[in-house]
Structure formats: C-alpha cells, structure tokens
C-alpha cells in the first residue's frame, strides 16, 4: 500500500481550528451511528415484507458465508494487509472437497484434505507476504493462480457429489451459522483479549517499529493468512455439503464483498485499528440492506438492481468517510 | 531592511497552544538563530512561515506588501525555502530529479523537461559537496546524511531570499557542519536571510547575528548573538537555572569502578581484522557499563547497529551476549535473549503514532510473552503510569495518543519501553537526537540509573559531548572501521576527535589498554588513517543489483513477447501478429489507465465500470437523431469527459475524505455499474451508426485506425510521464507522499489528476470497445480492471507506486493477450489461461522480491 504517510514531527495531528474539529467530531458521531440506523431500517423493511421468517434464514446463508470469511480476514486487514484470493481459494477447496468425495474418499478424510488445501492457500500468501512482498500484489497473483488451478485441475466442470449430508441443525439453523459464531468468538478473544491481538494491531500500525520492539511480525503474518485460509476451507466444505456440487466459478467477487463488510465494520484498511465484532456489524448492514432492497424490488419495480448497486456503493463510501479517514495522517 | 515580519502569531492544536503571540522581524542579510526547548513551538512556527500550517491569528507578511492570506504558495513565491528537520526524499527518483523537485524543472520547448539542463543543474549543485555522487544514481542508494547534504546544497544553490534551516546539522558530522556554516555565511553575505534553528547552541552563537529564544510558544527575547553565552541561552530557554549539563561523569565513573570487579564480561564484540592491521579487535563490556560509539558521518556509525543486529551483512562483526552469539536470530529472539534497541529514527522505527501511550509502552514487554497469554489491561495501565512518572513524561495520561506528544517526551517514553524488559544489553542509537537540553539530561540520568541494575549499554552518538560525559569508554569509528577505543575522559577529547577524523598518528591515537583494561582486552590501535582505503565510502549505501534485476526483467519481457510472436507465426498458419495487436490495442490503453493511477500511489479498481459508463453515455449520444458527422465526435468527447469525471470523482473522494483509494473505488465500482444499467436498461444497445467502425479499421483501405489511436495514446502518455513536470510529479507523489508534501507539491491535486487521467483513458477504451463491438451491454468491462492491473504488474509497475514504465505496461498487456492467443492456436483448452496468468503474476512477485532484496543488501 502506498499510502503509508508520515506524521509531521512533534505536531498534534488534528491540525484544524477548534471549531472545525468540533464540527467534524459531531458529524463523525452521526456518521458512526449510520450503520446502526441502516441496520434498523433494513431490518424493519424485511420484517414488514417477509411472509415466512424461516425462509429468511436460508436466504441469508450466502451472506453468512461471506460474513465468516470477512471475520477471518479482519486480522489480515488489521495487519495492514488484504487478501484478494479468498474467492478463488473458496472455489479451489470446494472443488478439492467435491473431487475427493467423488473419487470415493471418506467424508472425514475429504474434509481434512479440503481444509488443509485451504490452509495451504493461506500459508502460501502468508509466506510470501512475511518475506516482504506487498499483500495486494501477492494475493492478486494467488487469486489468479488458485482460480487457474481450479479450472485446470478439474477441467472447468461442475463436480457433482452423490452423498447427501444430513447436517445437524438444532433450532433449524444451518451449520454455517454455527461456524460463523465459532469463528467470531475465537477471533474476538484472540484479537481483543490475547497478546497476539496486541501484536497484530501494533504490526499494522507500524511494522518497522513492531519488529524492532521485538514482535515476531513474520510469524504473525503467516498465522493470520493461514487462519484465513483455514476458515475459507471450512466454509467451502459446508457449502459443498449443502449444495452437493462444486462450481469452478464459485466465490467470484466474494473477496470484494468481504472487504466491503470489513470496511463498513470500521476496520481501517491501512491497518492498526479495528474490531472483530465491527465486521459482524458491517456484514449485517451490507447483507440486510441488500436483502431488504431485494424484497422491495419485488414489490416496487422502481427499486431495481441498479438502484441497489448505487445504494450499496454510496453506503460503502459514506461509512468509509466516517471510519476510514485517519485524522491528520494525510499530508494536506 | 526587513525581510519578513511576524505579528502576534498564534496557533493551537486541540486547544493546547503551541505558539502564542509571537512577533519578531527578520532583517535582510542576517543570520537569525531560533532556539528553544522541545515543544517550545519552533517547528510549528516554521511550518507557519513556510505556509504549511495556517495561523489561528496574527500576520505573516513581507514588508511593504498588503496583508493577505499566507499560504505555501505565497511563501514560495516570496523566495522562502525551508529545509525540515527530518527531510524526506523520493527513493525511486534519481538525485537529479530529487534536486529539481525541490526547485523547478528546467523546461525546453512546449513544456517538456530539458534532460540536459536537468543533469547540468544537478551537477552544479553536487559539485559543492565533498564526495559528490553522480546525478543519475537513484536516491534509495544514498545514506541519510548524504541525502541531507544534497538537500542543503540544493537549497543553498537555489539562492532563496529567506532560507529556513530546522536542525540542519543533526545528521551531519563536524566536518560537514563546518562546510555548511561556511556556505550559510556566503549566502548571508550575498544578501540572503537565514533563519537557523538548532539545539546546538555553540553553532548558533558562532554563526548567528541575532538570536530569538522561544519558551512555551512565546518569545522570551531577541538579542544580538555577540556577547551571549550558551549558559545564558539555556537559562532563558528553560526559565529555571540549570547547571551545566555535563554532570554525569563522576557518578558513572565510580559505578564503573565498582561494577568492574563484581561481574564478568556480559557482552563481547569482535571487530574483524581490517586492511590496516591484521589483528581483530575484541571488546568486552561488563554489566553496568556504557560504551559510546562515536564517529563522523560516513564512518559506519549508522550501519554498525544494523550490522550488529544482522539487519545488514555483518562483514565479520560478531557480538556475543553471555557467550551466545547475537547474530542470525530474529529481533524477537534477540529480545527474549535480553536485548533492547532504541532505534535512531523515532517516527518510522519506534512510534505507533495513533495508538495510545499504553500500547506504545508495553509493546516490547508483550513481545516477550506467549501469543496466547491473556492481555491484562490493568497491569498495562499500571506499567505505563509508572513509566510516565519515572521519566516525568508530559502527557494527559496513558490513554493519550502517541502522536500528540512532543519528540522529547516520546523519546522518554520509548526509553521506558526498552527498560520495561529489564534488558541485559541496551542498544541506544542517537538517544537524544533532536531532544532539548532538559530532556537530554533526564534521559542521561535514566540511562545511568539503568546501569545500576546491571544493564550493559551501547550508545551510538554523533555528539562528542554526550560521548564524553555519559559513558565509560568511547569506541571511535572512522572510514567504516574501528579507529580506537578510549576511556571517556575530558582529557581525551583531542585524541578522540583526531581518531574520528582518521588523522590520528600512533602517538595520539594509541589508546592505553592499561588504563582501560576492564573494557578492552588486547585492543590494538587500529590506525585507520588515510592509509586504509575504505572499501566503500558510506554515501552509496547499496549497489545496483535491484536496478539490474529491473533491467533484466524488462528485457526478458520484451524478448518473451517477440519470441512468442515469432513462434506463433511459424507454428500456426492462421496466426497474424496484426490481429493480436488489433485486439490488444484497447487493452493497452486500459492498462495505461490502471498504470497512471498506480504510479501516483493509488489504485483504481473502478476503471472497468468507468469504461462502461463512458461507453453507455457515448452510445446514448450516438443514438440521438443528429447527423452522424456530428454525433460521432460528440460521442467521442462525451466518452472522454465521462471517463474523466468518473476518475475525478474517485480522486476527489480519495483526497477530500482521506479514504484509501481501494475503498473509494470499491464503492464507485458498484455505483458506476448501477449507473450503466440505469442508462441502458436490461437490454443491449444496438443500431449504432456503421461509420463508427472507422475508429477501428478503414473499410476500403484496411488501415487500422484503432491501432493508430492506441499507438498515439501510448506515445503521448509516455511523453507525459517521462518528459513533463506533471509526469515526474506523479512518480514523485507515488514514491513518497511525505517528501512531495515537503517539496510543496500538492499531493491531493497530483493524485486527483492521476485519477482523472486514468478515468479519461478508461473512457477512451470504452469508446473504442463500442466501436469495435458495435453494441453495448451492461456487463461491458466488468472484471476488466483486474486484468488491466495484472497486465501492468506483469509489465513491471510496482504496486506501491513510484515505479513503472509505459513500455513495460504495454509489453505486459501484449504478453497477456499473446498467451491467450497461443493457447487457442496450439489447441490447449482456455481453462489453463487463468493458471498461466497466475503463474506470470507469481513470476512478477518473485522478481519484485529479488529486486527488493537487491535494494536491501546490494
């Protein structure tokens, strides 16, 4: 990322007259409430439109998968990195899993192989990034590589799975929901209540300083990317178990949706600041808005696909204005 | 005659006044000293004079000119030039370009840069330096001190009417300082005015005509320098009577004597044998001792720590702590072994600016814990409180963000961070650089206290006073080698200085191992005089390996493209290179669109949508019932304008709201795509006029207009980037935004222009796509942004900005297209194309790594 800008020495950051600072903090406060307001609004819309609430839970499953991946990518963004390859890694692990099942590997070994493949994808990114290559460059490359492997190895065909899986689902919730809760809980504890989380945030804020202060930044890098790959593998396995098919162009654009959730959730893209739970909020806002507008568009043709896209884009930028700008770190 | 008048200037940050009610005048031709403690408001005042900060109240004006708002522009047009304390450089630009950026580019005809004059101007500046580097060397190959010298030389050569120097000698040696002072006097004698800001009071008193003292943001006095003494200045600066700062030697020496007996050597440093003498030098440092490492600029002082810590090739230098070698292990392991380092460059190497004091203080202590251990906020808070109290850090509490502290207070806190680990070896690199006198003595006292608890300290310093007053022994470096080890004792001042200059002969320089037996074992006086030809003077830091790798890469790329084309022409009859070029033409333009933004340090992932919006608008224009001769040019213009506007919106959002460009363009990506569908409806637009085809290929003559247009665009973009000031500005901003800001470049406006240019190029691509497809679909261009960025990266554009050429980007684009064609011609399934692209990108990642390693080690 080229935006690593230096602070002017010894100068307080908020280099603005007091009245302007006050106005800005006021507007920032209103903007920081925006996600909650939007969430309420769209939840209200959905509640008023939906006829079978149980069906809603199924509607939400693709978003739950994205939310899980977004949560597991949040530590990477806190490190000042980014992972563009999650969508491709998702497709690759899903195909590997389906292929294993098709060729008669048992379910548990197939799961193990697929999750290992996901972890390997993440570790490849992590290894290269830990050795100093820019994350954007590495994951752009691995995004093409994993997608290319999926296409080349499995011939660009859908891989059907004969077995049907009766996934355990108390409360009629799909297992994706439980996976999200599990990943969220584990990462919330690790990032906000464990030393590792302090390491992650410090490395994201100033990598050189963290290294000199004795933080094993390379190990942190590798760990974060590998964890993300591991979770992507789990999500892909559950996806194939649900749909009984692996599609080679699965997860296209997933990385950008996940990044959007993280940004709306308030994690700063240049690293150093953010919250795991924020990403869940971000995913909730983005998904409920999308679903609410979808409901509305069936009722009112005016609200069509294009307006949904425009609203989502404006939402993203609007929330970024309140959370992403780093006061005073921009030389101007 | 007055050169500049300041009237009752005020400035406060978040309610805390930094400068209040400051008034003084600068007289033309004088050298005016400005002194004051850290946090006295010197830097703020300077930034206001150079127009970087608007004052809250008060007036800055030139005599006789009307009152007007004082901006960076008025300041620059009045001939005011500022050299900031921690100057920035553009690492990816050449020395000549760096020099030109701090002034102006020499222009030849039609606004193009005159390369010859650029080179000559640089040589004219560099010739004044003691060791002039060539103007064509890239700035990232230079050491900090050389960069600072070049910056000063360029400023002096520009003959400003007012030159402001903020701590110009902080990084310079005695010799270089004398050179600088002489040059400043020359400038003043020629009628220039100089505002000289420094902590080095002896320099100020020696150089300046008048001195203004600042304390807590207010002027305490402005008086003639002659007759003043340093003690008087210190008294005014600190309000309380401070004794001479040289208070340390006595207690330390006694401490040294006692500790020498009770513990054995804790640290053993072995210098390799050098060309001057065949013996290697061994230095034993016991617990509780302080070793100062003193040397001039270029003596290897700055690289010694890097060598010790194995951050750079140690060249035989070996450090043993308690018998265990220090080298080859990571910083993390070193910390666990009981080593703490306080790095030289506070801002980039030590501070977590936006984190609070608590996080900044406990970070090292946390590094020593297991990653899965529970973080304990209460304990962290308590530790921070104790550090704040022990070092009397001026702050509002552990919750205050680090960036609000002044440099001296930050430094105290950072020392506290190092000590929290109870290190057995503490390495301090310039611990009091840019720190005021009061804080300096507090830091020295804290270091001395720490030695009581049995820590060995290695302190690298460029300040002889500090070395003499605050250590047990001084190792002197000269020309990259150890020139001798001396007991720290006022009587050795001459000998140390002489050794540092490399002029010591045996009689002066021979350090008696008898008086210093505890410290240095069989230390031989390494007379690193002029007889020892230093293998590499330190002003060139690394070789040209990274340049060579880039060079090889671009040649290899060109070779592969040509070879692939030949191979295809031979192996497959249906292949014509022209058809590939035809298909690649719009892609080349799109790749350039991605490239111009990346070069300026941004990234635009909305160019695919921008392209579609531009094409949709053009399609609408084309379908208006006007004569074709009118609609086609109009549509062309509309596409360009729409693209430009989309880019401008991206750039505005990015710079106005300070949002990362990837976030902005991720948002506008969906917005623009929504607008496309809004404009088109669900169906493809067809029925475009046939004459549009002229933009691709002339029907009768078969002349390929599309290729011609693409070629023209590529040439003009290449010319723009290579030979116009704007193009150089794009590279400069991408290379280092902070340096660009210091040079008075508006980072925002340059970035904005890069986005606009990218948008216009994307719009042009959209129009060409419209012309070649003769229809317009809502999905046109979706996902193309990643392909374009991929092509640019394969072509050698660095994703962090500042590097990349048009030729490289075009070659990358051609390679991508050619490989797709090759797969089809050789009957390989196009499933493998993505894999091939991924592989090529990985090759780009690997060469990028190689060139980075080249830059790091060289």
Model confidence pLDDT, tens digit, residues A224-263: 999 999 999 999 999 999 888 999 888 888 998 999 999 9
A74, pLDDT greater than 90: yes
What are the structure tokens assigned to B695, written together?
A: 């933009």
Residue B6 contacts A where some CB pair is shorter than 8 Å: no
Scanning every residue of chain A, which has its alpha carbon at the shortest distance from the alpha carbon of B680? Answer: A306
Instruction: Specify whether the CB–CB gap between B173 and B462 falls below 8 A.
Output: yes
| List of chain B residues whose C-beta atoms are within 8 Å of the C-beta of residue A214 | 331-332, 334-336, 340, 364, 367-368, 421
- Considering only the C-alpha atoms of chain A, give the largest distance between any 2 of them, rounded to a whole number of Å: 70
Question: Quick one: DSSP state of residue B401?
Answer: B
Give the nearest partner residue to B837 out of A148, A205, A215, using CB atoms.
A148
Predicted confidence band at A170 (pLDDT cuts at 50, 70, 90)?
low
Instruction: Specify whether the CB–CB gap between B213 and B237 falls below 8 A.
Output: yes
The stretch B356-383 carries a mean pLDDT of 85
Give the nearest partner residue to B842 out of A141, A152, A307, using CB atoms.
A141
Sign of the alpha-carbon torsion through B260, B262, B264, B266: negative
Taking only the tens place, the pLDDT of each residue in A78-87 is 999 999 999 9
User: Which 796-815 residues of chain B touch chain A by CB within 8 A?
Assistant: 799-802
Residue B556 host element (H or E): helix B545-571
pLDDT reported for residue A79: 93
A267, pLDDT greater than 80: yes
| List of chain B residues whose C-beta atoms are within 8 Å of the C-beta of residue A149 | 835, 838
CB neighbour class for B17 (10 Å; exposed up to 12, middle 13-18, buried from 19): middle
Question: Quick one: DSSP state of residue B270?
Answer: E
Scanning every residue of chain B, which has its alpha carbon at the shortest distance from the alpha carbon of A4? Answer: B737
d(CA B704, CA A308): 41
Chain centre distance of CA B431: 21
pLDDT reported for residue A97: 95
| List of chain B residues whose C-beta atoms are within 8 Å of the C-beta of residue A9 | 43, 85-86, 347, 407, 434
| List of chain A residues whose C-beta atoms are within 8 Å of the C-beta of residue B740 | 331
Bigger pLDDT: B478 vs B527: B478
Give the nearest partner residue to A213 out of B364, B374, B844, using CB atoms.
B364
| Smallest Cα distance from A170 to chain B, Å | 32
Predicted confidence band at B538 (pLDDT cuts at 50, 70, 90)?
very low
* Gyration radius of chain A over CA positions: 21
| List of chain A residues whose C-beta atoms are within 8 Å of the C-beta of residue B433 | none
Provide the residue ranges of all domains of chain A, joining segments of one domain with +: 51-164+171-251
B614 Cβ contact partners less than 8 Å away, ≥ 6 residues apart: B638, B639, B640, B642, B643, B646, B762, B763, B764, B766, B767
**B669:A332 CB<8 A:** no
The stretch A6-31 carries a mean pLDDT of 47
Bigger pLDDT: B642 vs B320: B642
User: Which 154-193 residues of chain A touch chain B by CB within 8 A?
Assistant: 155-156, 190, 193
Bigger pLDDT: A43 vs B380: B380
Predicted confidence band at B828 (pLDDT cuts at 50, 70, 90)?
confident
| Smallest Cα distance from B543 to chain A, Å | 20
| Smallest Cα distance from A17 to chain B, Å | 7
What are the structure tokens assigned to B275, written together?
A: 């060309």
Give the nearest partner residue to B800 out of A14, A134, A214, using CB atoms.
A134
**B838:A13 CB<8 A:** no
| List of chain B residues whose C-beta atoms are within 8 Å of the C-beta of residue A324 | 657-660, 663
Q: Give the residue among B2, B160, B171 at the shortest CA–CA distance from B79.
A: B160
| Smallest Cα distance from A68 to chain B, Å | 20
Give the nearest partner residue to B375 out of A198, A219, A273, using CB atoms.
A198
**B747:A140 CB<8 A:** no
Residue to mutate among A195, A257, A322, with most B CBs inside 10 A, is A195
DSSP characters over B671-732: HHHHHHHHHH-SSPB----GGGGGGT--TTT---HHHHHHHHHHHHHHHHHHHSHHHHHHHH
The stretch A16-41 carries a mean pLDDT of 63
Question: Quick one: DSSP state of residue B375?
Answer: P
User: Which 396-415 residues of chain B touch chain A by CB within 8 A?
Assistant: 401, 403-404, 406-407
Taking only the tens place, the pLDDT of each residue in B220-232 is 888 888 888 777 7
**B659:A132 CB<8 A:** no
Give the nearest partner residue to B350 out of A209, A260, A304, using CB atoms.
A209
B617, pLDDT greater than 90: yes
Q: Give the residue among B545, B344, B677 at the shortest CA–CA distance from A208.
A: B344
| Smallest Cα distance from B796 to chain A, Å | 12
Taking only the tens place, the pLDDT of each residue in B408-441 is 788 888 988 888 888 888 888 888 876 777 778 8
What are the structure tokens assigned to B546, written together?
A: 């990274």
Residue to mutate among B306, B331, B847, with most A CBs inside 10 A, is B331
User: Which 85-114 residues of chain A touch chain B by CB within 8 A?
Assistant: none
Residue A23 contacts B where some CB pair is shorter than 8 Å: no
User: Which 272-331 residues of chain A touch chain B by CB within 8 A?
Assistant: 272-273, 304-310, 312-314, 316-317, 320-321, 324-326, 328-331
pLDDT reported for residue B612: 94
| List of chain A residues whose C-beta atoms are within 8 Å of the C-beta of residue B790 | 140, 144
Beta strands B425-429 and B456-461, pairing class? parallel
Q: Which of A234-243, A267-276, B119-128, B750-759 has the lowest mean pLDDT?
A: B119-128
d(CA A158, CA B546): 45
Residue B417 contacts A where some CB pair is shorter than 8 Å: yes
Give the nearest partner residue to B671 out of A201, A269, A314, using CB atoms.
A314
Instruction: Specify whether the CB–CB gap between B503 and B495 falls below 8 A.
Output: no
CB neighbour class for B684 (10 Å; exposed up to 12, middle 13-18, buried from 19): middle
Chain centre distance of CA B440: 27
Give the nearest partner residue to A145 out of B363, B674, B839, using CB atoms.
B839
**A151:B832 CB<8 A:** yes
Taking only the tens place, the pLDDT of each residue in B100-155 is 887 777 777 777 888 888 888 888 888 877 777 778 888 777 777 788 888 888 88
B448, pLDDT greater than 60: yes
Q: Which of A16-20, A215-219, B291-295, B729-733 has the lowest mean pLDDT?
A: A16-20
Angle at B114 between CA B109 and CA B117, to 5 degrees: 130
Scanning every residue of chain B, which has its alpha carbon at the shortest distance from the alpha carbon of A132? Answer: B849
Beta strands B456-461 and B473-478, pairing class? unpaired
Sign of the alpha-carbon torsion through B762, B765, B767, B770: negative
Q: pTM here? A: 0.81
A54, pLDDT greater than 80: no
Can you list the domains of chain B with their CATH numbers?
2-89+142-238 (3.40.50.300), 246-338+423-430+456-526 (3.40.50.300), 586-818 (no CATH)
Question: Quick one: DSSP state of residue B67?
Answer: P
**A11:B16 CB<8 A:** no
The stretch B645-658 carries a mean pLDDT of 93
Taking only the tens place, the pLDDT of each residue in B196-219 is 988 777 788 888 989 998 887 888
B685 phi, psi to nearest 5 deg = -90, 125
**How many distinct helices (H) and strands (E) make up chain B?**
31, 19
**B831:A152 CB<8 A:** yes
Q: Give the residue among B665, B659, B633, B660 at the shortest CA–CA distance from B646.
A: B665
pLDDT reported for residue B59: 84
What is the overall mean pLDDT for chain B? 80
Question: B195-233 in b/e burial notation, b at 16+ Cβ within 10 A?
Answer: bbbbbbbebbbebbbbbbbbbbbebbeeeebeebebebb
Within B433-573, strands assigned E span: 456-461, 473-478, 481-487
Complex confidence, ipTM = 0.84
pLDDT reported for residue B311: 66
The stretch B251-280 carries a mean pLDDT of 56
How many CB contacts within 8 angstroms connect chain A with chain B? 312
């Amino acid at each position: 990322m080229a935006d690593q800008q230096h602070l002017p020495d010894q100068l307080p950051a908020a280099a603005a007259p007091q009245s302007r600072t006050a106005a800005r903090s006021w507007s920032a406060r209103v903007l920081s409430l925006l996600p909650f307001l939007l969430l309420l609004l769209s939840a209200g819309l959905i509640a008023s439109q939906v006829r079978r609430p149980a069906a809603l839970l199924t509607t939400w499953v693709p978003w739950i998968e994205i939310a899980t991946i977004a949560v597991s990518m949040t530590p990477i963004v806190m490190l000042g990195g980014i992972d563009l390859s999650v969508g491709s890694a998702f497709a690759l692990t899903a195909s590997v899993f389906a292929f294993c099942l098709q060729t008669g590997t048992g379910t548990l070994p197939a799961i193990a192989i697929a999750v290992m493949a996901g972890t390997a994808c993440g570790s490849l990114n992590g290894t290269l990034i830990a050795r100093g290559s820019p994350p954007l460059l590495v994951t752009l490359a691995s995004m093409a590589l994993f997608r290319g492997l999926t296409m080349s190895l499995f011939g660009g065909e859908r891989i059907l799975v004969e077995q049907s899986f009766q996934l355990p689902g108390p409360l009629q919730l799909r297992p994706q929901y439980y996976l999200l809760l599990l990943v969220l809980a584990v990462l919330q504890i690790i990032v906000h209540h464990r030393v590792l989380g302090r390491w992650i945030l410090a490395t994201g804020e100033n990598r050189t300083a963290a290294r000199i202060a004795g933080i094993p930044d390379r190990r942190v890098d590798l760990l974060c990317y590998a964890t993300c790959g591991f979770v992507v593998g789990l999500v892909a396995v559950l996806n194939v178990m649900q749909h009984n098919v692996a599609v080679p162009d699965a997860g296209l654009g997933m990385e950008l949706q996940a990044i959007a959730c993280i940004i709306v959730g308030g994690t700063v893209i240049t690293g150093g600041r953010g919250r795991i739970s924020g990403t869940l909020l971000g995913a909730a806002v983005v998904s409920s808005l999308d679903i609410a507008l979808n409901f509305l568009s069936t009722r009112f043709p005016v609200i069509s696909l294009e307006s949904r896209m425009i609203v989502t884009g404006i939402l993203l930028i609007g929330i970024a204005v309140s959370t992403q700008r780093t006061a005073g770190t921009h030389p101007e | 005659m007055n050169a500049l008048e300041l009237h009752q200037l005020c400035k406060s940050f978040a309610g805390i006044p930094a400068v209040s009610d400051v008034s003084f005048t600068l007289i033309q031709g004088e050298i005016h000293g400005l002194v004051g403690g850290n946090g006295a408001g010197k830097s703020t005042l300077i930034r206001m004079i150079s127009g970087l900060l608007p004052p809250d109240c008060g007036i800055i004006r030139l005599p006789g000119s009307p009152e007007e708002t004082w901006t960076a522009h008025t300041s620059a047009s009045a001939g005011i030039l500022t050299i900031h304390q921690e100057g920035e450089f553009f690492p990816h630009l050449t020395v000549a370009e760096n020099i030109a950026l701090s002034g102006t580019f020499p222009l030849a005809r039609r606004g193009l840069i005159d390369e010859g004059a650029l080179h000559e101007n640089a040589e004219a500046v560099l010739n004044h330096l003691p060791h002039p580097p060539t103007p064509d060397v890239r700035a990232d190959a230079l050491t900090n001190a050389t960069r600072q010298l070049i910056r000063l030389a360029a400023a002096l050569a520009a003959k400003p009417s007012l030159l402001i120097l903020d701590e110009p000698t902080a990084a310079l040696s005695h010799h270089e300082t004398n050179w600088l002072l002489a040059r400043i006097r020359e400038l003043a004698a020629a009628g220039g005015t100089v505002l000289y800001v420094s902590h080095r009071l002896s320099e100020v008193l020696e150089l300046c005509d008048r001195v203004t003292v600042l304390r807590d943001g207010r002027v305490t006095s402005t008086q003639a320098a002659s007759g003043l003494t340093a003690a008087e200045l210190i008294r005014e600066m600190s309000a309380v009577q401070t004794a001479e700062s040289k208070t340390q030697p006595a207690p330390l020496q006694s401490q040294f004597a006692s500790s020498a007996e009770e513990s054995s050597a804790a640290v053993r440093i072995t210098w390799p044998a050098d060309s001057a003498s065949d013996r290697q030098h061994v230095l034993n440092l016991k617990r509780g001792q302080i070793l100062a490492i003193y040397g001039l600029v270029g003596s290897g002082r700055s690289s010694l720590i890097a060598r010790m810590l194995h951050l750079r090739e140690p060249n035989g230098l070996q450090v043993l702590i308690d018998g265990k070698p220090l080298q080859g292990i990571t910083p993390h392991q070193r910390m666990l072994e009981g080593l703490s380092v306080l790095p030289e460059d506070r801002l980039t190497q030590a501070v977590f600016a936006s984190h609070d004091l608590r996080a900044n203080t406990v970070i090292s202590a946390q590094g020593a814990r297991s990653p899965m251990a529970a973080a304990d906020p209460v304990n962290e808070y308590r530790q921070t409180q104790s550090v704040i109290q022990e070092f009397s850090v001026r702050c509002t509490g552990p919750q205050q963000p680090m960036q609000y502290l002044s440099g001296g207070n930050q430094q105290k806190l950072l020392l506290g961070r190092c000590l929290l680990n109870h290190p057995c070896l503490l390495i301090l690199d310039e611990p009091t650089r840019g720190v005021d006198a009061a804080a300096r003595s507090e830091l020295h006292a804290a270091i001395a206290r720490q030695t009581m608890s049995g820590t060995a300290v290695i302190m690298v310093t460029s300040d002889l006073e500090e070395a003499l007053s605050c250590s047990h022994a001084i190792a002197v470096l000269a020309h990259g080698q150890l020139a001798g080890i001396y007991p720290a004792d006022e009587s050795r001042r001459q000998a140390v200085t002489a050794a540092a200059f490399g002029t010591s002969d045996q009689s002066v320089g021979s350090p008696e191992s008898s008086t210093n037996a505890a410290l240095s074992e069989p230390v031989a006086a390494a007379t690193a005089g002029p007889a020892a030809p230093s293998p590499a003077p330190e002003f060139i830091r690394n070789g040209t390996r990274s340049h060579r790798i880039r060079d090889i890469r671009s040649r290899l790329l060109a070779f592969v493209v040509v070879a692939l084309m030949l191979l295809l022409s031979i192996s497959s009859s249906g292949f014509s290179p022209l058809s590939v070029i035809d298909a690649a033409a719009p892609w080349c333009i799109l790749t350039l669109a991605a490239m111009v933004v990346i070069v300026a340090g941004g990234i635009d992932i909305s160019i695919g949508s921008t392209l579609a919006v531009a094409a949709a608008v053009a399609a609408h224009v084309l379908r208006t019932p006007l004569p074709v001769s009118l609609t086609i040019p109009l549509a062309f213009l509309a596409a360009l304008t729409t693209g430009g506007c989309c880019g401008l919106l991206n750039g505005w959002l990015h710079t106005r709201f300070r949002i990362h460009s990837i976030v902005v363009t991720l948002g506008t990506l969906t917005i623009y795509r929504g607008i496309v569908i809004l404009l088109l409806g669900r169906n493809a637009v067809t029925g475009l006029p046939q004459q549009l085809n002229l933009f691709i290929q002339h029907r009768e003559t078969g002349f390929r207009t599309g290729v011609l247009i693409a070629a023209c665009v590529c040439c003009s973009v290449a010319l723009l980037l290579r030979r116009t000031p704007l193009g150089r500005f794009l590279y400069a901003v991408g290379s280092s935004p902070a340096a660009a800001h210091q040079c008075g470049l508006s980072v925002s406006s340059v970035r904005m222009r890069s986005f606009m240019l990218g948008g216009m190029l994307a719009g042009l691509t959209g129009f060409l796509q419209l012309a070649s497809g003769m229809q317009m679909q809502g999905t046109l261009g979706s996902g193309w942004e990643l392909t374009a960025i991929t092509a640019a990266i394969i072509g050698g554009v660095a994703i962090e900005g500042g590097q990349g050429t048009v030729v490289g980007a075009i070659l990358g684009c051609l390679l991508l297209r050619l490989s797709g064609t090759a797969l089809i011609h050789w009957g390989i399934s196009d499933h493998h194309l993505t894999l091939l692209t991924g592989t090529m990108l990985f090759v780009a990642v690997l060469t990028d790594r190689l060139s980075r390693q080249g830059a790091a080690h060289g």
